[in-house]
Structure 1
Amino acid sequence: MANILQVHNLVKSYSSGSKNLTVLHEISFNIKERETFAIVGPSGSGKTTLLGLCAGLDRADSGNITLCGTELDSLNEDERALLRNRNIGFVFQDFQLLPTLTALENVAVPLELQGAKNASGKGKELLEKVGLGDRVSHYPSQLSGGEQQRVAVARAFSNEPKILFADEPTGNLDAETGEKVEQLLFELNREAGTTLVIVTHDMELAQKTERILKLKGGRIVENQNSAV
């Protein structure tokens, strides 16, 4: 299978007062189409920074990233946004649902942005799949944390992304709820044939993916197939 994501010699640093802090040091790896992939490491190891760069949300100091056959450096901000809208799904630790929209409206937003017909019908179908068919008219404040994350998972798959980035998707959930969300994420992923990239500090979750990349101090210390 072809690579959907190619990362080569990525370096990223931030200014902190008078100091320059390098967060990522010459990071290189590839992810194949349909692969499930985990990025793990302790807090401050650069996991979330790396995910943001891979998804085109931020720019590296040096190195290059090719996502879905397009080199991100060659795109301006509008072109990057278009690439994300067409090809990428996101699931975040803090859900990031729009509070003034219902569950259904939150799921339908990416479809409407693409000008899809029957966005509402497809949104309902996805909410049924994640077990929230009876919550379509509820606002985020009326849903539990687990229900909000299931809405976020449904939204992430709504535009049929080629690749989905999940940043600590179970980080704000209790163990039982987190496990249900994990199952949904992997089930929908298999069904859709999406590439799944998960940033997590949870090794149990990481070991459910096909490959694990371990970071420490902004460097790759391991890049291996998992036991799955």
Structure 2
Amino acid sequence: MTKILKINGLEKTYKSGSKELTVLRDISLDIEKGQTFSIVGPSGSGKTTLLGLAAGLDTPNAGTVELCGHDLNTLNEDQRAQLRNEKVGFIFQDFQLLPTLTALENVSVPLELQSAKNAVDRAKELLEKVGLADRMHHYPSQLSGGEQQRVAVARAFSNGPSILFADEPTGNLDEETGEKVIQLLFDLNEQAGTTLVIITHDLDLAARTQRILRLKGGKVLTYETTAAI
């Protein structure tokens, strides 16, 4: 099968004063197109750093990342941004909706960046799919946490991404609301055939994905296939 993400020998070090802090050491993995994949580990294990490197939001000190057939080391910042706009979706723990835009406008933004002619119609369709047909003209401050995350889910799928990164998508939600959002995420993902990569502390959520990478202290602890495959 086609490998949509290939990471080899990845390392990331940050300078803190005169000291260096190595956050990731010799990380290698590959993710196939259409696969569901989770990255788990305790706080400080390097999960979010790995996501940032995999999506081209940051650059490694060593190693390579090939995303959707592109070696990120060979791309400049603008080229990486264009690749993300065209191929990548994101969902964050804190929603990251633009507060001055309505739900509809928030979902339309990635489509408008691509100059899509049917941006508003596509955004409306996605908001209907996530159960917010009657809330699309509300601003984030007028929505509950669960509703805001559903807007974020709709936005993440709006540009028809090849791969979607979800960083602790239920971290700010209660258990019941979080379960609804996750079910929605998996349902939309299956419909779209997107590759889904979830960063999570939740081992029950991780077990619903086909493969799990466990990190500890910036190193790979285990790399396993689950019954979900």
Confirm or deny a common fold (TM above 0.5): yes
TM-score of the aligned structures, taking structure 1 as reference length = 0.99
Distance across 1 between alignment mates of 2:33 and 2:94:
27
Structure 1 consecutive aligned stretches of length 4 or more whose deviation exceeds 4 Å: none
Secondary structure in 1 matching 2:56: coil
Aligned match of 1:47: 47
In the alignment, what sits opposite 1:14? 14
- CA deviations on 1:134-175 (whole Å, 9 max, x unpaired) are 001000000000000000000000000000000000000000
1:197 and 2:197 are equivalent in the alignment: yes
Corresponding letter in the other structure for 1:27: I
1:208 maps to 208
Matches within 5 A, 1:149-164: 149-164=149-164
- One-letter identity of the residue aligned with 1:11: E
**Is residue 2:146 matched to residue 1:128?**
no
Code of the residue aligned with 1:5 in structure 2: it is L
Q: 2:224: which partner in 1?
A: 224
Residue in structure 1 matched with residue 115 of structure 2 by the alignment: 115
TM-score (norm 2): 0.99
2:106 corresponding residue in structure 1: 106
Q: 1:33-64 CA distances to partner (integer Å, 9 max, x unpaired)?
A: 00000000000000000000000000000100
Q: Distance in 1 between matches of 2:2 and 2:118?
A: 32
**What letter is aligned with 1:158?**
S
Q: Give 1:227 shift.
A: 2.5
SS at match of 1:96: coil
Counterpart Cα distance in 2 of 1:72 and 1:128: 35
Q: What's the CA shift for 1:9?
A: 0.1
CA–CA distance in structure 2, aligned partners of residues 204 and 214 of structure 1: 14
Secondary structure at the aligned position of 2:208 is classed as coil
Identical aligned pairs, as a percentage?
A: 70
The aligned counterpart of 1:72 is 72
> 1:16, 1:180 → 2: CA distance?
40
Q: Which residue matches 2:185? A: 185
Stretches of structure 1 that go unaligned for 5 or more consecutive residues are none
Q: What amino acid maps onto 2:168 in structure 1?
A: E
Partner Cα separation in structure 2 for residue 130 and residue 18 of structure 1: 49
**What is the CA–CA distance in structure 1 between the aligned matches of 2:52 and 2:227, rounded to whole Å?**
27
Q: Deviations over 1:168-217 (max 9, x none)?
A: 00000000000000000000000000000000010011001000000000
Amino acid aligned to 2:55? A
What's the offset of the Cα at 1:226? 1.5
Distance 1:144 1:42 in 2: 28
